[in-house]
Structure 1
């Protein structure tokens, strides 16, 4: 009987080995004491949250995962790294300091606090970052992959302080720092088979966690699941929401002066359904100021987050909009696109916003504004704001 008990323990407990107690009974020994001491029951390596096999609607076809597939182990490590302030020079800032779950993994502040000041651009929402045909990241697309993006804030002097400049350690300093922390020795062994910490392993784990943050429980998704395509009326939508959807999807018609004379608003030209991500090779959208200095041009910002969860379930914004954070309401965003400004020196304005070479004027009516607003509200889910697997493990 005792052999059966021992065999069962070996087969069912990945966290423990067995030894005999004083009364000759087999008892489990915790092989990951630092994980247990730090995270308690929040992180249970023998019962991980589901990151790798989440349900994805059949109509979602884009995926920039490439050679770093999500695993439960890797995303769990990524979650801890994402929330750990040890990744900053002075242990005051984590990735989650700028990308807050309650704000759809964006920031309610215009600029986010770093170890040596505040960020130069508003923090972009991370919802559904996996489901984008545009594989470059940051507002200016300077990172070729999400993996490359993950450690650039760490290596920024202002943001997290392992820049190798201005008295900072470089990324090797962070690697050594994490290598000395007991729970990372155990976590890296658990995920990779040995305790070695490397920048590549940090990048892969963080990217897996970020890609796992998905939102497909919106009113839009309920309607899309029962429709053959986006062009059909959604039976769960109000008449106004269906009107807004049609305006979003339908290209506008313009006269020679760039004034809309018919058709829809053409939002899908840059933010195609059902992912609502940014089209690759986009130009900028006419917002070309610099955060804190609107007169200093910053024309290289051609990426944007998904339009999903722009708003919270109650309709309030998930922080300000654009890389400058200069718009605080959806109505201000719509007003910007209603009449695109031509800023001297902006040589990178997206061609879709200057039909026939002229700045677009959509001439939206109050009813159209109300309808497109109603539709954008349908793109917000609820689960992503509270799901424990994306919350702090500390």
Structure 2
């Protein structure tokens, strides 16, 4: 090779190396704060898949409405979800009460906020997107997930930007976030502008929460092998199939509300395959409150029964809005003998056959079978997938 050719080859190599280095450093060049803060957790040029996750063909419900999940939007939502800067004293994030290891629920009865403890137990967020009920919170006071997303931030107890009781307002939070370098970059990356608004916060947080899905359970394997839920699942044990049948079939009651035959009717309020709550459901007979005196008969929402327990069968935290049920036996026992409290004017009529609080007259075999079936609704990936984990660790 001539000297001229050697020089030319050297210059080409230097040029290629320069281009390669520019490509490798382009994220740093354009998003230095994101790169420095979330190194190894978020790569804006190689985003996690939030928008195009697969789901079973038999899952048909979807409350996304006008805010479809995007990889960019959900990535921003993930940062917001885990960022303690969203609380007034920088100690609480959404993830403080909705923990990935607990199916995005809390092991505490009442979650700790910046100004005390919450008035209801934190609800699990699994499969929030795949729900027939589009309202959120235990009392369904939020018409959409977008509305719900900023309400804890604006709550005096939870995250402290209520605009009351000496708190700053949501505008105070926005000004705070506007001064954080990685948010300037992320909002421009997602929305084309560094401007932060409550609506943009809501959209991104809702996209991230809706992306959290769990469809790799034993139930899903069995459901994919049959035409409908009423058929025996080939991968189930006899006990699990018995529990499924009890869950699905309605009970037969006598004139006094005592079950004489049939199933347990759980599917009347928690229909498969989503196992979310029926939108027409009223109070379930639990009327206690966590703080103060009185009763709470407005709770009509419930999370999906999917991932109610971990893969080892232990619950992902206490159950009901009061958090006072710690085992599946407690829950089944409650529905097995419904007490009609005199002041509960909102009790679901499905729990009061012939005007009496239902008595399911359960046997130990039936209880064990139902528990065995509920355990089949638990997946594995949602507990460990890094795209739903904290980007700050």
CA positional deviation for 1:256: 1.1
Q: Which residue of 1 aligns with 2:6?
A: none
Q: Structure 1 residues 7, 66: CA separation in 2 closer, same or farther (over 3 Å shift)?
A: farther
Distance 1:45 1:15 in 2: 12
SS of equivalent residue, structure 1 residue 222 = helix
Please point out which of 360, 363, 368 is paired with 1:362: 360
Distance 1:170 1:9 in 2: 46
Distance 2:115 2:210 in 1: 28
Give the structure-1-normalised TM-score: 0.94
Q: Structure 1 residues 29, 243: CA separation in 2 closer, same or farther (over 3 Å shift)?
A: closer
Distance 2:109 2:135 in 1: 23
Distance 2:222 2:89 in 1: 47
Q: Which residue of 2 aligns with 1:315?
A: 313
Q: Which residue of 2 aligns with 1:101?
A: 100
Q: Which residue of 2 aligns with 1:277?
A: 276
Distance 1:335 1:144 in 2: 32
Q: Structure 1 residues 29, 390: CA separation in 2 closer, same or farther (over 3 Å shift)?
A: closer
Q: Which residue of 2 aligns with 1:262?
A: 261
Distance 2:247 2:42 in 1: 42
Distance 2:28 2:273 in 1: 49
CA positional deviation for 1:69: 0.3
CA positional deviation for 1:342: 1.1
CA positional deviation for 1:292: 4.1
Is 1:228 the equivalent of 2:227?
yes
1:343-362 pair list within 5 angstroms? 343-362=341-360
Cα shift readout 1:130-155 (whole Å, capped 9, x = no counterpart): 00010000000000000000000000
Q: Which residue of 2 aligns with 1:71?
A: 70
Contact 2:28 2:35 (8 Å CA) reproduced: no
Please point out which of 368, 371, 388 is paired with 2:369: 371
Q: Which residue of 1 aligns with 2:328?
A: 330
Q: Structure 1 residues 392, 245: CA separation in 2 closer, same or farther (over 3 Å shift)?
A: same
Structure 2 gaps, min length 5:
1-11
CA positional deviation for 1:15: 7.2
Cα shift readout 1:193-245 (whole Å, capped 9, x = no counterpart): 11110000000000000000000000000000111000000000000000000
CA positional deviation for 1:296: 1.7
CA positional deviation for 1:355: 1.1
Cα shift readout 1:282-309 (whole Å, capped 9, x = no counterpart): 101000110145x621000000000001
SS of equivalent residue, structure 1 residue 49 = coil
Give the structure-2-normalised TM-score: 0.94
Contact 2:243 2:371 (8 Å CA) reproduced: yes
Structure 1 gaps, min length 5:
17-27
SS of equivalent residue, structure 2 residue 123 = coil
SS of equivalent residue, structure 2 residue 202 = helix
Is 1:393 the equivalent of 2:391?
yes
Q: Structure 1 residues 198, 13: CA separation in 2 closer, same or farther (over 3 Å shift)?
A: farther
SS of equivalent residue, structure 1 residue 52 = coil
SS of equivalent residue, structure 2 residue 317 = coil
Is 1:286 the equivalent of 2:285?
yes
CA positional deviation for 1:2: 8.5
SS of equivalent residue, structure 1 residue 311 = coil
Q: Structure 1 residues 79, 246: CA separation in 2 closer, same or farther (over 3 Å shift)?
A: same
Q: Which residue of 2 aligns with 1:91?
A: 90
Contact 1:15 1:46 (8 Å CA) reproduced: no
Cα shift readout 1:37-72 (whole Å, capped 9, x = no counterpart): 111121100001000000110000000000000000
Paired residues, number: 381
1:1-80 pair list within 5 angstroms? 13=23, 16=26, 30-80=29-79
Distance 1:327 1:242 in 2: 25
Distance 1:245 1:65 in 2: 29
In terms of fraction of residues, the more helix-rich structure is 2
Q: Structure 1 residues 119, 33: CA separation in 2 closer, same or farther (over 3 Å shift)?
A: same
Q: Give the aligned CA root-mean-square deviation in angstroms.
A: 1.8
Q: Which residue of 2 aligns with 1:21?
A: none
Distance 2:332 2:25 in 1: 53
SS of equivalent residue, structure 1 residue 30 = helix
Distance 1:234 1:7 in 2: 59
